Amino acid sequence: MIDAPELLQPIDTSIDGEARNGDAISLSLADLLPDSSGAIVIEGEGEDLCVRIVTDEQVVDAGVVEQLVTATGEDVSGHAYFAFQNGTTLYAPRELDLSIVAFDI
């Protein structure tokens, strides 16, 4: 994995959970099912796709994957990754308009 935070989308820590784009698809991290290694892969194509991941888990690491194939065989090389405190790692294409909305419970 390589460090390239300037290529990643920002993490929004707003209390109300409102991301910058009101047209985003909102998904709860808790509702997404990781594979046996804790990986969740978000795939998306198209310029208008915006995804908002809402979670109470803290992001402990982020960057860009140099080369990696997940336990289910998905090649996430070149994807952005966000590792969460609970052991889950979210992978997404860097071109995807992705926001992580973190809140404290």
Closest CA to 38 of 87, 2, 94, 101: 87
The confidence score (pLDDT) of residue 45 equals 72
Tens digits of pLDDT across the chain (105 residues):
444 444 455 555 444 444 444 577 999 999 999 999 999 999 877 667 899 999 999 999 999 999 999 999 999 999 999 999 999 999 999 989 999 998 875
Distance, C-alpha 45 to centroid of its chain: 15
Do 55 and 84 touch, CB atoms closer than 8 A?
yes
Gyration radius of the chain's alpha carbons:
13
Q: Which two tokens stand for residue 59?
A: 């992001």
